[in-house]
Amino acid sequence: MKITSVQPFILYVPVTGSQIADSTHSVTHWGVVGAQIDTEEGLSEFGFTGTPAHLPSDQLIARCI
């Protein structure tokens, strides 16, 4: 199976209901950094990781992908 393309993406999902927080930080959005991977057989799959929605860090992860 040969990979034909890898397309990174960044999504931000608002935290609703209970907050995510510790003694110094409060998270209002959850980040999802991931990639869509396509193959020559026509398969398309996704992989992702969750982050505390820090844009510079998320952009770095996406560039590494």
- For 7-46, write each residue's pLDDT tens digit: 999 999 888 877 788 888 888 888 899 999 999 999 999 9
pLDDT at 64: 92
Q: Could you give the 3-state DSSP secondary structure of residue 24?
A: coil
Amino acid at 36: Q
For residue 58, what are its two tokens?
Answer: 């998320």
Domains in the chain and their CATH numbers? 3-16+28-64 (3.30.390.10)
Whether this model's pTM surpasses 0.85: no
pLDDT mean over 53-59: 88
pLDDT at 16: 83
pLDDT at 25: 81
Q: Which residue has the tokens 């992989």?
A: 47
